[in-house]
A and B are shown apart, each in its own frame.
Chain A
């Protein structure tokens, strides 16, 4: 298992290198640059713009800039913000905590609500409760996050005055609830659907029939035979889902003024602050890869048919 983890971690390097190249090219090819955006609406003389470009190194060819970027990255240096005088790595990592907190809360909601609901729906397959859950789940999958977020803000913040509508609030739980729900509810619905399908598949399996033939109680059958097997199926799909959830934080953080990486990257892209945008994206990719690795480890831990080779 240790060898497996080391091997997978080593695979991160070529993956990150490849993605960084694509990312670098894309970000540097979008029109506009930091020199212009930092000038804002001021009508700067062309010489001044050229001077700023030279200061930021933007006058050099793109290949040279990439090589320089990678060399520094290898040394742990993500560069400096074009617009503000700070280290990218410092600001990115200071924001990472907030994003991870939000993502973790959303994943927890999805797991703690979605999986039991899906399981329940599968056991009640074909009844009105199952139908109701299906309708709610399809609705949940279909609602766009920005709209759901606004609805939640309106009800819980504006009408009921129960929860703050935005901001980090020194990390209080009350501030976490709405963004985590916004990010998590769609995944809760998806997970409920996946769980329902997985449990129904397992319930019709021969080994569950064997468990029944042994005279086991429904509880023992569900816990020992149905759930573990269904969870293997759920994990296969849920792993991919949670990877994409990290990317989804961008929208939700922006909506709730959540001081995480997602809102930072949007800001940075608008301002053409390319080193900051690159730093954010790299960290998001790293988190994505780590989540996938964790899911793979878990998958192998609960499924003896797949070993760590």
Chain B
């Protein structure tokens, strides 16, 4: 149906490569294709943002890399996830466990519920050291306190013995980061790491991730619905819609010249800070009208067609395929926004 035209790069510099990933979920209404042929590539040391609305398949893509999709309902039906020269989807459960929390780590959206409420936070960090570095209790404790200090927790010796309910949301996310980075992973996947936090804390957490990234020489995938939050720290952007990648490109190119109408709409939906003056009318925040299509009953044409300002007749009948339009830049649209002559605004 659609071909992935991601240009090949040498595997030496490639941190992770996802090729034509398909993930299905069994629901009461039938098989739901949450991820439909996602491909992207991340280079060593890069920060990549997967951007999209709820239900775009971005979290499922992230969980697929870790293979943490609930087996009872979800299934990776096809694709390849190449990491460190091997296809993660071919690894057995034992090898995957060796890798999780070690070479690839993940932090989650809800720091409130992502920590075990009955376990001291120090032990939750120490568990990773004991598992992957096979150290004894005392050494795990020493390393954990060191790690808690590194993620910016004050009085880490005291925090070590505290339970999650005794510390704030921002601190809990710092503990999650400590857990994720304990074994110096090559790849960190952060699934909406700041969404549940106060705005002032959001920046701190992103800064922390950036600092530790350069220190550890790791690559980062940030899953987000908010382009504004990550704009400053990402190198490369993958925009997802209804289970598909609709646009990829370097962050600057994407922000300066979005080629897909959905990407443009996402950028316009980011609030811009500014004072209203007499001469300048306050700009109205643009919303994307409508909702994501029902993945159980996808339209024949482009999935974004119904909400698109630029849709033409062809959009409702034929689904566009991914087209390479530059270096690591591709778009899935019949009417590339940069080719002004080819479309007429509705």
Contact = CB atoms under 8 A, between A and B. Distances in A.
Interface of A: 125-126, 204-207, 209-217, 220, 224-225, 228-229, 232, 302-305
A205 B113 contact: yes
A210 B114 contact: yes
A206 B179 contact: no
A214 B102 CA distance: 7
B163 interface: yes
Report, as a range, how many residues of chain B touch the other chain. Answer: 20 to 34
A210 B97 contact: no
B107 to A, nearest CB: 8
B250 to A, nearest CB: 29
6 contacts: A209-B114, A210-B108, A211-B127, A212-B100, A225-B116, A232-B118
Contacts of B117: 207, 229, 304-305
B113 A125 contact: no
Interface in B106-141: 106, 108, 110, 113-119, 124, 127-128, 131-132
Contacts of A211: 116, 127
A125 B180 CA distance: 30
Given A206-B110, A215-B101, A305-B117, 17 more contacts: A125-B72, A206-B113, A206-B114, A207-B116, A210-B114, A210-B124, A211-B116, A213-B100, A214-B179, A215-B97, A215-B100, A215-B128, A224-B127, A232-B118, A304-B117, A305-B118, A305-B163
Interface string B221-254: 0000000000000000000000000000000000
Interface string B256-268: 0000000000000
B148 interface: no
Q: Which of B119, B132, B180 has the most CB of A within 10 A?
A: B119
Contacts of A125: 72
B70 to A, nearest CB: 8
A228 B123 CA distance: 15
A214 B128 contact: yes
B97 A217 contact: yes
A129 to B, nearest CB: 14
Contacts of B124: 210
B117 to A, nearest CB: 6
Interface of B: 66, 68, 70, 72, 96-102, 105-106, 108, 110, 113-119, 124, 127-128, 131-132, 163, 165, 176, 179-180
B163 A304 contact: yes
A224 to B, nearest CB: 7
Contacts of A220: 127, 131
A228 B127 CA distance: 16
B129 to A, nearest CB: 10
A215 B99 contact: yes
Given A216-B127, A216-B131, A302 B118 contact: yes
Nearest to A226: B116
A210 B115 contact: yes
A interface SS class:
helix
Nearest to B179: A214
Given A215-B97, A215-B100, A215-B132, A209 B68 contact: yes
Given A206-B108, A214-B131, A303 B116 contact: no
A207 B179 CA distance: 12
Given A209-B68, A213-B68, A214-B127, A228 B118 contact: yes
A223 to B, nearest CB: 12
Contacts of B108: 206, 209-210, 213
Q: 10 tightest A-B contacts by CB?
A: A215-B100, A214-B101, A215-B101, A206-B113, A207-B116, A206-B114, A215-B97, A304-B163, A213-B106, A210-B114
A254 B12 CA distance: 79
Contacts of A225: 116, 119
A164 B108 CA distance: 59
Nearest to A217: B97
Nearest to A211: B116
Given A213-B66, A213-B101, A207 B114 contact: yes
A212 B101 CA distance: 9
Contacts of B179: 210, 214
Q: Which of A207, A214, A217 has the most CB of B within 10 A?
A: A214
A126 B72 CA distance: 9
B119 to A, nearest CB: 7
Given A206-B114, A229-B116, A215 B98 contact: yes
Contacts of B66: 213
A215 B118 contact: no
Given A206-B113, A229-B118, A213 B72 contact: no
Nearest to B113: A206
A224 B72 CA distance: 22
A62 to B, nearest CB: 52
Given A207-B115, A232-B118, A215 B72 contact: no
Contacts of A229: 116-118
A63 to B, nearest CB: 52
A302 B179 CA distance: 23
Q: Which of A205, A232, A304, A305 has the most CB of B within 10 A?
A: A304
Nearest to B66: A213
Nearest to A231: B118
B131 A215 contact: yes
Given A214-B179, A216-B97, A224 B119 contact: yes
Nearest to A125: B72
A224 B127 CA distance: 10
Contact of B118 (A204, A209, A304): A304
B105 A213 contact: yes
A230 B170 CA distance: 26
Contacts of B163: 304-305
A213 B127 CA distance: 12
A131 to B, nearest CB: 14
Contacts of B102: 215
B51 to A, nearest CB: 22
